[in-house]
Structure 1
Amino acid sequence: MSETVVEEAAARKQTLREELTARRKAMTPDLIDTRGLKVQSRFLAAPYYQKARTVALYAPIRGEVPTRDILIAALQDGKIVCYPLSHVHGRILSFRAIKSESELEPGRLGVREPTNSADLIAVDQIDLFVVPGLGFTREGKRLGRGGGYYDATLRAASQRSRRVGLAFNDQVVPVLPTTGDDVDMDLVVTESESLRGLYRDWDFLDT
C-alpha cells in the first residue's frame, strides 16, 4: 500500500472519528444504559461468549457500550474475566483478571482497570476479546480511537481467539477506510442485531 493511500485513509478515518464521536456525545446517559442492556443481552446469547473460557472485557468511557452485565454474567458462569491496563509496553495491551467488580479502580488515564494484585493473563491465553470502537461496518471492519493498541493486541493473540465488537446502531456505517494494520471483528453486536463479520467457527477452542 503506497504512502499516499495510507495518508488518504488516515485523513478519512479522522473525519469519521469526529462524526462518530459527535453522534456518541449526543446520546444521554439514560439512553446509553437502556440501549446498552440490549447490546449486552444479545452478546451473552452469542455462541462465541458461551464457548469462551477466558474473556477480555473493556471498561467503557465516553459513551461506549456498557459491559457491566457481561462482567456479572461471566463471573457467575465461572469464566476468567480480564481487563486491559493503561500502561502499555510497546503497542500490545497487558491484561489482569478480576473476580469481582470491586477490583476495578480508576487508572492513570481515568479508565477503570484491575489493581496490581490481580493476576496477569497472557494475551495468547485469551479466548474472546470484547472490543470497543467508534464505528463498525456490517462486514466487521472497525474504527478505533486511533492509538492502534487493540489492533496490535489482536494480531498478537492466539489464532484460536475470536473478537466481538460492541456498538450502538448509530455506530454502524456502510464503509470504513482501512489499512493492512486494521483487524476485523468476527461479530459486531448492536441493540437490534448481530452483524456477521468474519464469523469464524464458534467452536474455536481445543477440546
Structure 2
Amino acid sequence: MSVDLKILRQQLRHQRRTVSPFAQKQAQQQVLNQLIRLKQFQHSKKIGIYLHAFGEVQTRDIIEYCFKQHKDVYLPMICTMNQQLHWVKITRQQYRNNQFSHHPFGMKEPMASRGLHVSKLDLLIMPLLACDIYGTRIGMGGGFYDKTLASAGQRPFRLGIAHDFQLINARLHRETWDQPLDALITPSKYLHFKR
C-alpha cells in the first residue's frame, strides 16, 4: 500500500496538536517508564534530546530524569551554514530557568556558538511525525536529523519516541538519504529495528 506523505504529514501534525494535556502527560510517563528499562539508555552518559514544541511526546520528565541520573543532556541547535544539528550541553539550572533562544521555526534552542557532532553522543532521542515497523522515520520535512546523521556512522543509538497513532503499519517509502531508527518507543510499544 502506498502512502501519500503530504496527506500523512498534514493528518499527523493536526492529530499531534490536538492531544489533550492529560493524554500528553500519560504518554510522557509511559514512554519514560519504558526508556528507563532500556539498556542503551542505562549505559548512556551523553544523551541528545529535543524540547517539545509541536505536540510531540513531551520530554520534560525524561530530561529531569536524565539530570537525576547524572547524565549529560544535549539539545539540538541548527547550524545555519550546513543545516545540520549541533548538540549543546545544558545544565539543570539552564533548563529549569528556561534559558533558551527562540528559533524562527518555532522551537527553543540553546544559546551557544558551538556544539558537539552527533557522533559524540551515546543516545539520540528523536521526535518524529511517523515511523513504520521497519524503522523508517518521517520528520517535519526539514531534513535536519537526516543531514546530521548522514555523517555519523553507527553512533549514536537512534531512538524515536512517539504517540501510538504515529506508528504506521504500512511500509513508508525510504529515500536514500533517510536515516532509519534503531528503535522506537510509544506509550504501549517498544520496537527494535535492524539498521
**TM-score grouping bracket, smaller chain normalisation:** 0.7 to 0.9
Greater helix percent: which structure?
1
Which residue of structure 1 lines up, in the alignment, with residue 173 of structure 2?
A: 177
Q: How does 1:1-207 map to 2 (within 5 A)?
A: 12-100=4-92, 101=95, 102=97, 104-109=99-104, 110-116=106-112, 120-174=115-169, 175-198=171-194
Q: Aligned partners of 1:51 and 1:154: how far apart in 2?
A: 21
Counterpart contact for 1:105–1:113, Cα < 8 Å: yes
Normalised to the residue count of structure 2, the TM-score between the two structures is 0.88
CA RMSD between the two structures: 2.0
Instruction: Return 5+ residue gaps in structure 1 as ranges.
Output: 1-8, 201-207
**Number of equivalent positions:** 189
Counterpart contact for 2:75–2:109, Cα < 8 Å: yes
How many percent of aligned residue pairs carry the same amino acid?
28
Question: How far 1:55 sits from its partner (Å)?
Answer: 0.6
Q: Secondary structure at the match of 2:175?
A: coil
Q: 1:104 to 1:189 in 2, by over 3 A?
A: farther
Instruction: Return 5+ residue gaps in structure 2 as ranges.
Output: none
Greater strand percent: which structure?
2
Normalised to the residue count of structure 1, the TM-score between the two structures is 0.83
Q: Aligned partners of 2:80 and 2:36: how far apart in 1?
A: 29
